[in-house]
Structures are given as structure tokens and as C-alpha cells.
């Protein structure tokens, strides 16, 4: 069966700093027309940084859309010029957010966060051999972060309590659990 939809037209609805939103008119495989609202995003990286004493480095921060404090793995958006090499974004974000550099950074998997309405792709990396950075990159002006290092049982407990509640962090914790 053919599932592909043919794009007939695209209208930009919103063009912001982080996302843009397009409204597409598409022709379905059965010949009917439909509309799609698509959130466009440049992509991002997320890291599972594990210390030598087997703890994960996590970020505690306020998330305005959810109106709550969350506990997340370090992550950040791919900046212009980094599109062809998300590993460079991962190295930068590990420094900016967690204040570490890693001897080893390996791609676990790229994944789409919400394919029903967004093209955001996150590259999930595992980082080990962590050492504090000698030169800290500046953090984003609008970020207020606290670093937390947790064991796997502590991190899984935080997930059960709802402090860990985003897909990239849940995926990262489940991958770490599989590695045990």
C-alpha cells in the first residue's frame, strides 16, 4: 500500500526563534485533500553522560510550558553551521550545561520527538570518561540550571515521581538501564 502524501501547497503560519509552523495542503493516497500543521525545528542533541562512579549527570530546571521543575539529561538545539555534524553540538552542550568534556561520545540513535506534527529530530549520545572542562563555555542567558548526579535507581525513582517527564530523558534512562 502507498502511504505517501503529496504536498500541494505550503503556507508559513509562524516563524520564530526556535520553531516555525507551516500549514500544508496534501493529497492523500486515496486522492482526497487534507491539511497538516507542521512544527519545523532545526533539530537537537541529548546526552547520557555517565561518570566514572556510574552516576548520570542531569539538569534541574524550570520548564515554562509545563509550569514545573524538571530533571533532564543535558540537551540543546543544533545551531546554524552544526547541521552536518550533530556531534559538535553534543560536545558544546556537554560543556555549556554539564561543565564536562568526554573521552568517548557515541551516537545511540537519532529519533523524532513527535512525528505526528513535528520534524524535530534529536540525536541521542552516550558520553563516558567525563572530566570537568578547563574552559567553560557561556551558558544561555535565559537558562537557570542546577547540576545533579544520580545513580540509576535514584534516576528511575525520579522518573516514577514525575520529576523526569520528557521523552529524551526517559529514553536516555531506559538506554542506560539496558547497558547495566
The model's pLDDT over 103-121, given as tens digits with 9 standing for 90+, comes to: 999 999 999 999 999 999 9
Whole-structure pTM value? 0.93
Burial of 104 (0-12, 13-18, 19+ CB in 10 A): exposed
Spatial separation of the C-alpha atoms in residues 135 and 146, rounded to whole Å: 19
Q: Report whether 146 contacts 163 (CB < 8 A).
A: no
pLDDT at 57 over 80: yes
CB atoms within 10 A of CB 50: 21
The domain spans of the chain are 6-41, 44-179
CB atoms within 10 A of CB 36: 14
Topology of domain 44-179, CATH: Nucleoside Triphosphate Pyrophosphohydrolase (3.90.79)
Q: How many CA atoms lie within 13 A of 141 on its CB side?
A: 0
pLDDT at 83 over 90: no
Amino acid at each position: 500500500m502507498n502511504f505517501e502524501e503529496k504536498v500541494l501547497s505550503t503556507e508559513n503560519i509562524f516563524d520564530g526563534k526556535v520553531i516555525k509552523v507551516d500549514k500544508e495542503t496534501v493529497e492523500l493516497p486515496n486522492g482526497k485533500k487534507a491539511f497538516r500543521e507542521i512544527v519545523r525545528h532545526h533539530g537537537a542533541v541529548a546526552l547520557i553522560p555517565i561518570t566514572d562512579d556510574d552516576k548520570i549527570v542531569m539538569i534541574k530546571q524550570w520548564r515554562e510550558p509545563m509550569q514545573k521543575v524538571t530533571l533532564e539529561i543535558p540537551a540543546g538545539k543544533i545551531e546554524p553551521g552544526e547541521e552536518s555534524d550533530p556531534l559538535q553540538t553534543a560536545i558544546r552542550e556537554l560543556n555549556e550545561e554539564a561543565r564536562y568534556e568526554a573521552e568517548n561520545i557515541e551516537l545511540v540513535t537519532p529519533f523524532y520527538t513527535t512525528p505526528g506534527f513535528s520534524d524535530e529530530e534529536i540525536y541521542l549520545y552516550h558520553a563516558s570518561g567525563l572530566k570537568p572542562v578547563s574552559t567553560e563555555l557561556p551558558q544561555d542567558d535565559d537558562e537557570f540550571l542546577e547540576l545533579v548526579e544520580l545513580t540509576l535507581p535514584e534516576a528511575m525513582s525520579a522518573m516514577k515521581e514525575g520529576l523526569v517527564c520528557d521523552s529524551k530523558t526517559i529514553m536516555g534512562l531506559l538506554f542506560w538501564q539496558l547497558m547495566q
